[in-house]
Amino acid sequence: MRRISTVVLLLSTLVAGCNLGPKYNRPAIQPPANFYAERQTTASSQADAAWWELFKDPVLQSLIREALQNNYDLRVAFARVEQERALAGVTRSQYFPQVGYGAGISGQQAPFPFVASHTFYTYNFNTMWEMDLFGRIRKLNEAQRAVYFASEEARRDIRLLVLAEVAQGYFQLRALDANLEIAHRTVKSFQDTLDLFQHKFEGGASSGLEVSRAQAALSNVAATIPDLQRQIVAQEVALNFLLGRNPGPIVRGSALAEQYDPPEVPTGLPAQLLERRPDLREAEENLIAANANVGVAKANYFPTISLTGAFGGVSPQLSELTGAGKAWSLTGNLAGPLFTAGRLKNEYRAALAQRDQARIAFEKAVTQAFGEVSTSLSAHQQLAKAYQEQLNSVEAYRESVRLSNIRYDSGFASYFEIIDAQLQMYPAEQSAVDYDLGRKVALVNLYRALGGGWSLNDSQWISTSGASVPVKSPAP
């Protein structure tokens, strides 16, 4: 008994002490003290807020929630997570003995007379267990667990991407609606001018040149309406695809200018970005897996030790199969490489190179993440200023149109002045919409770059607290 205990203790010591392969250590990352273009560093971050606190339009919330449940890429990501979870279970099973069974029946008919025929029934239970003395199985499990965790982080990243794409697509749709409204309003304004010139021409108070110029301006703007309607349909189709729907109209909520847009967006400390962004956590899990695979390649240099056993019986009578004729066996096996023509060495070198690639990819992703936050933050700040200036420009052009009409009616201005004022106001209004869209898209990009909603669990991601409200019909 003492001898068996000594053997068990020795094997336990070997198992604990012969874990080959490098231990994982996160590469040294030097985050900047603050994000480029950041006005003031704060510990709080917009990423700590739930997504429905940023996107307050109930219609947009409903679309996001639908996409989080039905988006094709997200459903594939969920299936991939389940696949990697199952493969992690497959790898973990190597820790334990594998037990099987077998049964058979055989018969023999002799070709000679007076020689009896024989029938035999057999059964057996067999087992095999590899003793993980050099940590090969442990490193395989470490690698597969990291792959599984990486798939979880990839799913979270795709979920955040889907949210961002739906929000941006909705804002783009509302921008097209705004441009279409501007086009219809401008066409009406040019139509009124054309009617005025036409009336004066018929009374002999103006020339045909005024009528032709007003007609050209009207047709020029009217031509944009069919193209805007085409873009709206294309944008609705793209949004429906994100929602996992067939093509169809998208309901509208608040106008683009009414969408919530905080004047200041806290970013948090740059060092916290490593924990918030799922793509960075995914890159690190891939590095952990690559590091573990180095241990697997190193353990392959050493022998594998396994135990196999069998227990069964054989009998010429089925009724006596579990009686006499018992047999059992227990065998220890040792197998290892002697000559592989450099295969093991090159597998080890390949594993080291793959780990280096994963480390560089992780460092690259971190550096890129800092840049994405800074770019989105600057875009949101500067486009907000540009939008305000463009609104001032639009107001000035509107006043110019009003004064031009007064001057023309009083005989102090030519028809060129009134048409020119109207022609300049139209692109100014469109530019205001573009700047407003740009800053809202930048806000979405910033929320995603910060890892928005990182603290929410799966059930919270697809739930909102807002009540449903009446929605507007799709734009014509």
Give pLDDT, residue 415: 66
Give pLDDT, residue 200: 66
Mean pLDDT of 284-312: 90
Mean pLDDT of 266-292: 92
Angle, CA 451 vertex, CA 445 and CA 457 arms, to 5°:
130
> What crossing angle do the helices spanning 343-410 and 415-449 adopt, rounded to 10°?
150
Please state, in angstroms and rounded to a whole number, the distance separating the CA atoms of residues 446 and 453: 12
Residue 123 pairs in a beta bridge with 103, 313
Please state, in angstroms and rounded to a whole number, the distance separating the CA atoms of residues 261 and 283: 31
CA dihedral 431, 436, 440, 446 (to 10 degrees): 70
Of the two residues 177 and 334, the one the predictor is more confident about is 177
Could you give the percent of the chain with pLDDT greater than 70? Answer: 84
The encoded tokens of residue 412 equal 């102090």
Mean pLDDT of 247-269: 91
Residue 125 pairs in a beta bridge with 101, 311
Please state, in angstroms and rounded to a whole number, the distance separating the CA atoms of residues 387 and 263: 13
Per residue in 441-467, pLDDT tens? 999 999 999 999 998 888 888 865 443
Strand, helix or coil at 121?
Answer: strand
> What crossing angle do the helices spanning 224-242 and 208-222 adopt, rounded to 10°?
10
- For 22-74, give the DSSP string: PPP-PPP----SS-TT-SS--S-BGGGS-HHHH---HHHHHHHHHHHHH-HHH
- For 115-136, give the DSSP string: ---EEEEEEEEEEEEEE-TTSH
Band (pLDDT 50/70/90 cuts) for residue 116 is: low
User: Would you say residue 407 has pLDDT above 50?
Assistant: yes
Mean pLDDT of 234-253: 95
**Containing H/E element for 108?**
strand 98-108
Q: Which of 305, 338, 258 is nearest to 136 (CA)?
A: 305
Give pLDDT, residue 313: 67
Helices (H) then strands (E): counts for the chain? 12, 4
> What crossing angle do the helices spanning 278-299 and 136-202 adopt, rounded to 10°?
150
Angle, CA 234 vertex, CA 231 and CA 237 arms, to 5°:
150
CA atoms within 13 A on the CB side of 365: 20
Residue 306 pairs in a beta bridge with 130, 333
CA atoms within 13 A on the CB side of 145: 11
Give pLDDT, residue 298: 93
The encoded tokens of residue 265 equal 């967006």
**Containing H/E element for 414?**
none
pLDDT-wise least confident of 183-192, 294-303, 446-455: 183-192
Give pLDDT, residue 132: 85
Q: Mean pLDDT of all residues in the chain?
A: 84
Tell how strand 326-335 and strand 118-131 pair up: unpaired
Give pLDDT, residue 324: 64
Please state, in angstroms and rounded to a whole number, the distance separating the CA atoms of residues 380 and 52: 19
Per residue in 372-392, pLDDT tens? 999 999 999 999 999 999 999
Band (pLDDT 50/70/90 cuts) for residue 475 is: very low
List C-alpha distances in Å: 421 to 205, 215, 227, 431: 22, 15, 24, 16
Please state, in angstroms and rounded to a whole number, the distance separating the CA atoms of residues 447 and 441: 10
Please state, in angstroms and rounded to a whole number, the distance separating the CA atoms of residues 357 and 72: 30
* Residues ≥6 apart with Cβ < 8 Å to 431: 390, 393
Band (pLDDT 50/70/90 cuts) for residue 263 is: confident
Q: Which of 261, 188, 259 is nearest to 222 (CA)?
A: 188
Residues 3-16 as b/e (b if ≥16 CB within 10 A, e otherwise) read eeeeeeeeeeeeee
- For residue 179, give the amino acid letter: N
Of the two residues 72 and 1, the one the predictor is more confident about is 72
User: Which DSSP letter does residue 229 get?
Assistant: H
Give pLDDT, residue 32: 86
Give pLDDT, residue 72: 95
Backbone angles phi, psi at 311, to 5 degrees: -145, 135
Tell me the pTM. 0.85
In the block, tokens 């459903």 appear at 75
Please state, in angstroms and rounded to a whole number, the distance separating the CA atoms of residues 314 and 328: 11
Give pLDDT, residue 206: 63
User: Would you say residue 195 has pLDDT above 70?
Assistant: yes
